[in-house]
Amino acid sequence: MRKLVYWVHQSVDGFIEGPNGEFDWADMGPELSAYSMELTDRADAFLYGRKVWELMSWYWPRAEQISQDPHDVAFAPVWARTPKIVVSRTLESAEYGARVIGRDLAAEVAELKAQPGRDLLLTGGSGAAAALGELGLVDEYQVVVHPVVLGGGSPVFPGKERLGLRLTGTRAFDGRSVLLRYERA
């Protein structure tokens, strides 16, 4: 069975974006970038909540024209060729061939996980991750903690349910960020 992996960047104080929605603080150094590419190699589909989808679908098709960052240049073609799934109760369709799910989230994601293939990678955001986590559908949490305190914003875990996790690994990147890898307890 395929695993659903939640991959997210957060501040030391537990936020995925600052008080004004800013996400200009997650530094993709060479080691973190290489790990990120390894993680995407484990997956054959990317999942996004609606808000993250809107950011990703605007940026990644243009990344090679607007960025010189080595990570962005390397990831843009990976993003383009990888199937994408958007978790949303409001969208009817999405660009770039993305599939929209969310009418019966538990059944739709269980069906995706039962299909043959590699992992499903849920990137960023917290709403979709909270909904999927509360349904017991997230198998692995990969949280990268960056050396910044935002003082407010959107919490990485906004869910209302208690979530028991078991630490399965840690790793430091570029002398700055730390990966905390968990599975459901």
The answer for residues whose C-beta is within 8 angstroms of residue 139's C-beta and 6 or more apart is 3, 4, 5, 183, 184
Instruction: Assign 22 a pLDDT band (cuts: 50, 70, 90).
Output: very high
| Separation in Å, CA 67 to CA 18, 27, 34, 109, 165 | 22, 14, 18, 33, 37
Span 164-180, pLDDT tens digits: 999 999 999 999 999 99
Which one, of 181, 2, 179, lies nearest residue 83 by Cα?
A: 2
Which one, of 91, 93, 95, lies nearest residue 128 by Cα?
A: 91
> What pTM, to 2 d.p., does this model score?
0.95
Instruction: Assign 161 a pLDDT band (cuts: 50, 70, 90).
Output: confident
Instruction: Assign 159 a pLDDT band (cuts: 50, 70, 90).
Output: confident
| Across 39-48, 115-124, 153-162, least confident range | 153-162
Query: Is residue 130 predicted with pLDDT exceeding 90?
Result: yes
Distance, CA of 180 to CA of 35 (rounded, Å): 13
The pLDDT value given to residue 70? 95
The pLDDT value given to residue 169? 98
Span 81-113, pLDDT tens digits: 999 999 999 999 999 999 999 999 999 999 999
Query: Is residue 35 predicted with pLDDT exceeding 90?
Result: yes
Domain boundaries, the chain: 4-44+63-167
Query: Is residue 160 predicted with pLDDT exceeding 90?
Result: no
Q: What is the DSSP string of 60-73?
A: TTTHHHH---HHHH
Which one, of 136, 143, 141, 81, lies nearest residue 109 by Cα?
A: 136
**CATH value of 4-44+63-167 in 3.40.430.10, 3.40.50.1820, 3.30.70.120, 2.40.50.100:** 3.40.430.10
Distance, CA of 127 to CA of 143 (rounded, Å): 15
**Which helix (H) or strand (E) covers residue 50, if one does?**
helix 50-59
Instruction: Assign 29 a pLDDT band (cuts: 50, 70, 90).
Output: very high
The pLDDT value given to residue 10? 98
Distance, CA of 22 to CA of 9 (rounded, Å): 13
